[in-house]
Structure 1
Amino acid sequence: MRVIITLLLLVFPVALMSQTKSRVRKSTDFLFSTPIAAGITTALIKKDYVGLKQLVFSTGTAIVTNYALELSVKKVRPDHTGKHAFPSTHTLIAFTGAEYVQRRYGWKWGLPAFFVSSYVAWGRVNAEKHDWWDVAAGAAIGIGASYAFTKPLKNANITIVPAHKGVVITATF
């Protein structure tokens, strides 16, 4: 497993750099919603309707904040295609989903979501749709909104079993 992770860390950056800006932009247009989709899917599979409600509040808060800032700041994009560059909506949505998944279900689920979100942030800058502070603000707003509304899922399981010299207590969290 370590060999696979090491190879990915060495090969993946080279693969990223060899993409055209158009291809990077198209991939971020698709991938930005995957952390949110993962959160919705996981909540539905686990029948975690409380968590699903937390995701809706997190996403709603992040999007309202995003559009309020875009309308008031009116920053021009680096490629001059519009006046709504600050903050990055793609990055905001990706990091809202990633923080929700990580906070609700743990790092086992959150790490891949943050990996995808980081790629989206890098891709938006690489494709000249945003400057680095646009994606940093989007990430901060998304993470902040999810952190404010999302509570970790408690899956504590404690077992007490009589043993030869007392009891054995096992706990899983």
Structure 2
Amino acid sequence: MRKLLFIFALMISMPKVSAQDKTITTSGDILQMAIPAAALASTFIWKDDTTKPTWQFVKAYGSSLVMQQALKHIVQKPRPDGSDNFSFPSGHTTSAFSGAAFIQRRYGWKYGVPSYLLASFVGYSRIQAKKHDGWDVLAGATIGIGTAYLFTKPYQKKAVDVSLQRINGGFMMLFYYTF
């Protein structure tokens, strides 16, 4: 977790690259939806009927967006660029981190680290576009991660299943390997 916070701090403190501002902003706009879309798609690819992963995603993502929108209207913090919408917390960052945390919580750090790096880039893109400051992005990330952890159960794929069956007055031990 410390490594993740360090990477996040690096992303939001990177110097501004003015020639690429529009590209960075557009990339952040795309990723804020692509990350949760990948998380949702994963629930259909790796089926697990016992934990209902699609419903877990809907609860995690939906509650993060409701909480984020409620806070925007309660706090009513103006954006750094002076535009009309409210700033706190960052909706793009909430969306990206909700998807990234779902992926990490569900499938482990192997997929979580790249997801969190992409979500951190989304946060950086919002700061460089002057739509948010660090506190807005940090709050959005916290909401996204918190709701994902609240509603998401890890995927438990059984590698080996052992069972006993009675056959002709004796027993047979069966091993099933799932890959």
When the two structures are superposed, what TM-score results if normalisation uses the length of structure 2? 0.76
Matching residue of 2:36: 36
The answer as to 2:26 corresponding to 1:26 is yes
Number of equivalences: 149
Matching residue of 1:99: 101
Matching residue of 2:55: 53
Matching residue of 1:118: 120
When the two structures are superposed, what TM-score results if normalisation uses the length of structure 1? 0.79
Give secondary structure in 2 for the equivalent of 1:47. Answer: coil
CA shift at 1:159, angstroms?
A: 6.0
1:100-120 residue CA offsets vs partner (Å, 9 max, x unmatched)? 000001112211111110000
* AA matched with 1:71: H
Equivalences for residues 64-103 of structure 1 within 5 A: 64-103=66-105
**What is the aligned counterpart of 2:157 among 155, 160, 167?**
155
1:6-43 residue CA offsets vs partner (Å, 9 max, x unmatched)? xxxxxxxx9x8465322221111111112211111111
Percent of aligned pairs with the same residue? Answer: 41
1:48-71 residue CA offsets vs partner (Å, 9 max, x unmatched)? 461111000001110110111001
Structure 2: runs of 5+ lacking an equivalent: 1-13, 163-174
* AA matched with 1:75: K
CA shift at 1:149, angstroms?
A: 0.2
Structure 1: runs of 5+ lacking an equivalent: 1-13, 161-168
* AA matched with 1:105: Y
- Quote the RMSD (CA, aligned, Å): 2.2
Give distance in 2, aligned partners of 1:44 and 1:135.
Answer: 30
In structure 2, the CA distance between the partners of 1:156 and 1:64, relative to structure 1 (3 Å rule), is same
